[in-house]
C-alpha cells in the first residue's frame, strides 16, 4: 500500500492557503514573502496557488479580507443591545475590546496596510468602510447617546472618536517596531479611557 502523493480537497484549500499566507506575511511582510514559501507552509505546490488565486496580489487581498471577519460587527451589536450605563459599558466591554486589538491579527493587517496600502487603494477603501468607519461611527454614536441620556456633556471629544483609538494605534505600532522595549499597552489604553471619561462626564 502506497500512500497517495496528495489529496484533493478543493473546499478547504482557500482557507488553508490564506491562513498560511497570513502567517508568512506576518513574518516577512508582503514584498519579502515568496509565493513558494506560502505554498510550502500550506503543504501545497506552487502551481496550485495559481488555481485559487490569479496573482500574488489577489492572494494578498484575500488575506486582508479574511481578517476583517465581523470583528467590529460584534462590537456594534453589543453597543446597541447593552443594558449597562454608558460609563460601565466603556470601562467594561469596550475597554477590554480595545485592549485586545494590539495583540490580534488586526495589528498585522495594519502593518500590511501601511506597507502596501498606497498601492492598493481599493483594498484601503474596503478596509476603511468595513472596519474603521463602522468602528468610529459606533463609538461616536455611543458617545452621543450618552449625551442624550444626560450621562455625558457635549464637548470636542464627542465628535473625535479618534481619541479613543489613538492609544490603541500607538500600541500597535509600538508592538511592530519596538519589540524589545516593553510597553504596558493595557495601562496606556485604560489611562486614556480614564481621562476621556473624566473629561466628558456630566
Which residues here bind DNA, judged by CB under 7 A?
4-10, 13, 33-36, 43-48, 50-51, 54-57
Does the footprint of a second copy cover residue 173 (CB under 8 A)? yes
Residue among 165, 182, 193, 202 that touches a second copy (CB under 8 A): 165
What is d(CA 158, CA 135) in angstroms, rounded to the nearest whole number? 14
Minimum CB distance to DNA smaller for 60 or for 89? 60
Is the alpha carbon torsion for 176, 62, 69, 15 positive or negative?
negative
The answer to whether residues 111 and 176 touch, using CB atoms and an 8 Å cutoff, is: yes
Nearest to 89 by CA among 133, 140, 142, 141: 142
Q: Which of residues 66-85 bind a second copy (CB under 8 A)?
A: none
Is the alpha carbon torsion for 33, 131, 188, 90 positive or negative?
negative
Does the footprint of a second copy cover residue 197 (CB under 8 A)? no
Does the footprint of a second copy cover residue 35 (CB under 8 A)? no
- Cell numbers for 197, please give them: 471619561
Minimum CB distance to a second copy smaller for 28 or for 46? 28
CB of 200 to DNA, least distance (A): 49
Amino acid at each position: 500500500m502506497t500512500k497517495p502523493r496528495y489529496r484533493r480537497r478543493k473546499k478547504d484549500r482557500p482557507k488553508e492557503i490564506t491562513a498560511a499566507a497570513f502567517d508568512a506575511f506576518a513574518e516577512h511582510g508582503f514584498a519579502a514573502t515568496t509565493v513558494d514559501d506560502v505554498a510550502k507552509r500550506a503543504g501545497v505546490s506552487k502551481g496550485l496557488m495559481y488555481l485559487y488565486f490569479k496573482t500574488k496580489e489577489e492572494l494578498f487581498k484575500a488575506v486582508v479580507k479574511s481578517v476583517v471577519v465581523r470583528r467590529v460587527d460584534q462590537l456594534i451589536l453589543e453597543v446597541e443591545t447593552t443594558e449597562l450605563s454608558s460609563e460601565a459599558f466603556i470601562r467594561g466591554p469596550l475597554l477590554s475590546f480595545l485592549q485586545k486589538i494590539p495583540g490580534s491579527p488586526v495589528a498585522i493587517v495594519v502593518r500590511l496596510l501601511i506597507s502596501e496600502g498606497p498601492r492598493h487603494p481599493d483594498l484601503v477603501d474596503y478596509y476603511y468602510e468595513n472596519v474603521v468607519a463602522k468602528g468610529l461611527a459606533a463609538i461616536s454614536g455611543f458617545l452621543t447617546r450618552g449625551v442624550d441620556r444626560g450621562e455625558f456633556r457635549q464637548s470636542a471629544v464627542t465628535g473625535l472618536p479618534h481619541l479613543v483609538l489613538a492609544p490603541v494605534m500607538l500600541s500597535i505600532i509600538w508592538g511592530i517596531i519596538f519589540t524589545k522595549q516593553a510597553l504596558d499597552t493595557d495601562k496606556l489604553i485604560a489611562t486614556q479611557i480614564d481621562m476621556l471619561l473624566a473629561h466628558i462626564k456630566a
